Structure 1
């Protein structure tokens, strides 16, 4: 098999095994998807992305450190996403919605958190160290959150978001279980100190993720997936290696029974390994080699720092079913087409406008990258 062998994922078949991972870009109109976002996604569908994952899409109002991140909790957002999915489908693309809850890495002074009228919730009242809220005065970091009294309330929010995603025309949903957001916070023993059924043992800490997957499968029976970063330390996460293997191994063994469309494993990356109080937070190990034995029925995708040559080898050897590229899709609207033509990925990133900028044309650093001639 090759990168360009079609692949059946759940109820859909994608044209190739080159996916576009979720990439926060901060271009929505407040929280509503808009026309320039439609252009961005359509360009990448035309550029050959086998499966596009939407940028992280908030399932409820939260004080995100990412201003202008889109949501999917109200009708205006659903309508905005529907225009995008319709346009992506018209050019032959497939698109999942990544469902995102920030948990403890929200801020109570952010506009959306104030509008929500609820505290910053997390599995336990433990703040993440660090944090950047550039749109707030001063340099506020993360706050001590309020322990979620009943996690099933958030699970219900995930389900409603999936219902909305189906109405918006997405082909499936991906749970954002990586990078220190709420699912990861429940999994990690450093952020989850609960003594009820949602904390303590690896089985209990994995319960939240599994229950989220189960309710999403009620909405998308064959088209639910999850992204996990067992080696990642972003947002002050990271357990000892054996605890990591026990926790994520149990989660994946149980998830493999559910009939997911795929699981994405995010590899170790130095950029996701912050040093906090003199300690590296990530748990460096080979996530594909460690966790693929737990997935006997579920397709595996790999993400983080994969080169085209490595992607060819990983797929042709059967190590993974597919590969998600991230930054390359930011800087090239035609990653898959370039790989197929053996053309270079040579557009330089415009980091100054990666996430947009106040008073600057939103097209800059977003839809102004050139396709290969």
Structure 2
């Protein structure tokens, strides 16, 4: 592996290699969603393990926009206590020689199922389908399982929530921010014609459905300049998202072309993974197609990254042939704190993911399946 270990300019910083650590929810924050010492150890381990760029787990921009059960300990970045917690993490990551972006996240219509938590907001009053077991993010026993969302009256108020979070991320010492526009969460819900049935300027045509995501990106650029990135999953069907192929290509071609004009640091394309595509009403929900060959040619002012079930050998070939500028790994970084070093030295990736502890358990030592994966002695 040689090309993977060449430096790359991303925004106005240079990362040491092309092996990024993708956002993977770990659910280990304090009950008040403040990043803690065990999270600091987790990120430090992977910075020392050679990650060129670390993207945090999905980080909530408000106390309202989370999914129950699985994400009750997801970190936030809407208050100063959370900012201070993240500052301790960015400090040690930088001392270890890595760069770190904060992934900004709101789940929209998938928010808290408890009516006491207040309204659930989405682009339209269209609930997500898929009762228990048919979607990896839905742990509710009833079907369809998600509450009826309230249509967001003024999407600009949510644009401001993202901008406030970006300002906090800057205070926390992050090198940049990544907008989570994938996996059926709020930005993706605006893009998709099955979850966004608005008839105003925020819905209808692909241009109108892309408006929310583009306005959010512009607000983030106001804060971080070129150090703003975007993650999309055009092919996946997670959380009851997915349009016909023609509509999908038209929508994401417009969205990514316009996003690229903002000269973002990078755009991450997520590959279609059949095992991640839920079955709803007896059918796979997603729209399988290759994002690199379909959209890669539209990205000219930003770096292009790919994520989704890559092997190191495949990653090397994709970068070597110029199809992408870099790659992200998810689960391999969970299980191998020294992933980049292992790849560089040809070591086996033989740690098995402890699935029962992937998202933590308040009744179990939080280190299990989190900071206790062994590294190789070099």
- Per the normalisation by structure 2, the TM-score is 0.95
Stretches of structure 2 lacking an aligned partner (at least 5 in a row): none
Matches within 5 A, 1:214-229: 214-229=218-233
Kept in 1: contact 2:113–2:146 (CA 8 A): no
SS at match of 1:124: coil
Matches within 5 A, 1:269-308: 269-308=273-312
Query: 1:92, 1:98 → 2: CA distance?
Result: 20
Matches within 5 A, 1:73-92: 73-92=78-97
Cross-structure match for 1:126: 126
Q: What's the offset of the Cα at 1:91?
A: 1.0
Kept in 2: contact 1:198–1:204 (CA 8 A): yes
SS at match of 1:226: strand
Query: 1:187, 1:135 → 2: CA distance?
Result: 21
Cross-structure match for 1:315: 319
1:110-158: per-residue Cα shift (whole Å, max 9, x none)?
8xx72xxx41100000010126699988557211100000000000000
Moved more, 213-222 or 293-302: 293-302
1:71-111: per-residue Cα shift (whole Å, max 9, x none)?
0001110000000001111111110000000100112418x
Go from structure 1 to structure 2 and tell me whether the alpha carbon gap of 1:137 and 1:11 turns closer, same or farther (over 3 Å shift). closer
Kept in 2: contact 1:108–1:119 (CA 8 A): no
Query: 2:326, 2:102 → 1: CA distance?
Result: 18
Cross-structure match for 1:184: 188
SS at match of 2:316: helix
Go from structure 1 to structure 2 and tell me whether the alpha carbon gap of 1:105 and 1:321 turns closer, same or farther (over 3 Å shift). same
Cross-structure match for 2:75: 70
Query: 1:60, 1:281 → 2: CA distance?
Result: 28
Matches within 5 A, 1:142-157: 142-157=146-161
Query: 2:298, 2:138 → 1: CA distance?
Result: 42
Cross-structure match for 1:49: 51
Query: 2:226, 2:262 → 1: CA distance?
Result: 9
Query: 2:28, 2:138 → 1: CA distance?
Result: 15
SS at match of 1:95: strand
| Pairing 1:331–2:320 present | no
Go from structure 1 to structure 2 and tell me whether the alpha carbon gap of 1:277 and 1:136 turns closer, same or farther (over 3 Å shift). closer
Q: What's the offset of the Cα at 1:359?
A: 1.2
Q: What's the offset of the Cα at 1:358?
A: 2.4
Query: 1:120, 1:347 → 2: CA distance?
Result: 39
SS at match of 2:319: helix
Query: 1:174, 1:24 → 2: CA distance?
Result: 14
Q: What's the offset of the Cα at 1:355?
A: 0.7
Kept in 2: contact 1:21–1:52 (CA 8 A): yes
Query: 1:315, 1:344 → 2: CA distance?
Result: 21
Kept in 1: contact 2:187–2:212 (CA 8 A): yes
| Pairing 1:5–2:6 present | yes
Query: 1:60, 1:264 → 2: CA distance?
Result: 24
- Per the normalisation by structure 1, the TM-score is 0.96
Go from structure 1 to structure 2 and tell me whether the alpha carbon gap of 1:280 and 1:39 turns closer, same or farther (over 3 Å shift). same
1:242-284: per-residue Cα shift (whole Å, max 9, x none)?
1011000001111111110000000000122111011211100
Q: What's the offset of the Cα at 1:372?
A: 1.3
Go from structure 1 to structure 2 and tell me whether the alpha carbon gap of 1:199 and 1:12 turns closer, same or farther (over 3 Å shift). same
Matches within 5 A, 1:103-182: 103-109=108-114, 114=117, 118-130=118-130, 138-139=141-142, 141-182=145-186
Q: Select 2:106's aligned residue among 97, 101, 105.
A: 101
SS at match of 1:3: helix
SS at match of 2:38: helix
SS at match of 2:306: strand
Go from structure 1 to structure 2 and tell me whether the alpha carbon gap of 1:169 and 1:372 turns closer, same or farther (over 3 Å shift). same
Query: 1:27, 1:131 → 2: CA distance?
Result: 26
Query: 1:192, 1:43 → 2: CA distance?
Result: 41
Q: What's the offset of the Cα at 1:198?
A: 0.3
SS at match of 2:3: coil
Moved more, 252-261 or 60-69: 60-69
